[in-house]
Structure 1
């Protein structure tokens, strides 16, 4: 029979052994070991984002500079035909649009990694991204933790707490359950559902959003997708991320232009608050010494030109907004030539 002293010693031993064991288990669960747990993900979007960036980074590396990089969320990805812009303007153009849910802090960091001195970055950012209340939401935190740990070393120290605060235990548990039931040998985006990296061309543009694929349910979801228009808040994390990105690129000799995101033409854009927001954006870019390309109304399209959200173009919408961007870039180039000494 164990004495009270022996019982206490055994309890203390197991307690001390359990703490590092639990921490090790959590680390393996949260961050994985690639050789044993290839890729954890909680939602299909994670699969698409991972393969999208792999495809785009590899394709972009093969394009000689100087280059025009189109940067933003999925409005850019689905909106612009970089191949057509390259042919029309004779400038090597690449569509580096991604998932707007990654937030501007992460989206712009990825763009900064691939931009080279001498390149031009055109930012066509969806309006809601300027006013995000926090630097990170769960999606970019979860994605970078599993698929882009390089982001940790690039992240400013003052954002560490914001980053850590967005860990969602529900996503971790879903990823753990998924990892127990799936062995992911194939690219993640080959799973049923969601978008396909196979429909992204060699210049990063989307080729899989056709009008023939649009269903009545998609139309219904787009009709319900009302835009909440608010004045620009320059102190928001999204606006601060843009300002910091612009300053860093100017120091690196990367030119920055401001454009407008492709979007469904909605009644909300005719309200006074929308006019104020668009005017605030022009002033914001002017204070950052960033030229603004075109006008927002030229990048708004009718119902039949969108795919499955207000910011996703089908092939008709892609042709419309690409033509508008080519026209705006030509006008900017001509004006810059006239103003040159």
Structure 2
């Protein structure tokens, strides 16, 4: 009995070590590919550029090729994945930003209250930069390790056309499953989390470097309950008091006909509407 126990334990440890050091998660490989497309485009631009930064909602919402053409400023879609966390996304923008650039942060609501470095940041660092795993406690590392193993087992790769500037394009259809057709769940009240403090530090750094930073809100499927949310009201008040802000949450609540497969993922209809509105907002706020 004891021999069997130790053999089983040894096998589990070996499998865990093999995963930790060698496993290449398909979802993170996709994130890496997207980041390289966006970084390559950003590096090729000359003069001031605009970066729209956020999670996958940005990836779906903004036709940045069109934004760049119609505003006469190269515009990069730096939408990646909300599961990376606020800190990771801001680090990504920090690496590409230069003096006189224009950064528009379109942040999914969960980024403000979830960990600054979240589940996919752990997996990205495990694969590409293990030294940065010291950003996580041992308890967090164990939690994210197990969480990523489960997520990787059920991962399904989505393939979409990607514009030169890094946006998804030609995303047609309305495929929101019933189990995802529900409102987002917010905390009862807004508080300054680690992620919010990272945002404040990032904006102060950009100010010193002559980089303009503005914040806007994500496109998401609208629900009546949002109009009564204390959290959204308090978040909006905080942002308008401390940053240059474009719009209000209610401006970007969309109908189901504009939604693809998630409350945060718009289809081509939603992208066209958001892109046209964004161009108007940029033109009004030069």
- Per-residue CA distance 1:107-129 (angstroms, 9 max, x = gap): 11111111111111101101121
- Contact in 2 for aligned 1:121/1:254 (Cα 8 Å): yes
Instruction: Return the alpha-carbon distance in structure 2 between the equivalents of residues 28 and 236 of structure 1.
Output: 35
Structure 1 length normalisation: TM-score? 0.71
1:29 CA displacement:
5.0
| Alignment gaps of 5+ in structure 1 | 1-22, 33-38, 179-191, 334-341
Aligned positions of 1:70-219 closer than 5 A: 70-132=52-114, 134-149=115-130, 152=132, 160-162=135-137, 165-167=140-142, 168-170=144-146, 193-196=156-159, 199-211=161-173, 214-215=174-175, 218-219=176-177
2:204 is aligned with 1:251 = no
1:97 CA displacement:
0.7
Equivalent residue number for residue 6 of structure 2: none
User: What secondary structure does 1:117 align onto?
Assistant: coil
Instruction: Return the alpha-carbon distance in structure 2 between the equivalents of residues 259 and 81 of structure 1.
Output: 16
Moved over 4 A (4+): 23-29, 171-175
1:231 CA displacement:
5.2
User: What secondary structure does 2:262 align onto?
Assistant: coil
- Sort the Cα spacing of 1:161 and 1:172 in 2 relative to 1 into closer, same or farther, 3 A: closer
Instruction: Return the alpha-carbon distance in structure 2 between the equivalents of residues 170 and 230 of structure 1.
Output: 25
Structure 2 length normalisation: TM-score? 0.83
1:75 CA displacement:
0.9
Choose 1 or 2 for highest CA Rg.
1
Structure 1 range deviating more: 69-78 or 160-169: 160-169
- Sort the Cα spacing of 1:173 and 1:119 in 2 relative to 1 into closer, same or farther, 3 A: closer
Structure 1 range deviating more: 93-102 or 234-243: 234-243
Equivalent residue number for residue 20 of structure 2: 30
1:166 CA displacement:
2.6
User: What secondary structure does 1:96 align onto?
Assistant: strand
Equivalent residue number for residue 189 of structure 1: none
**More strand, by proportion:** 2
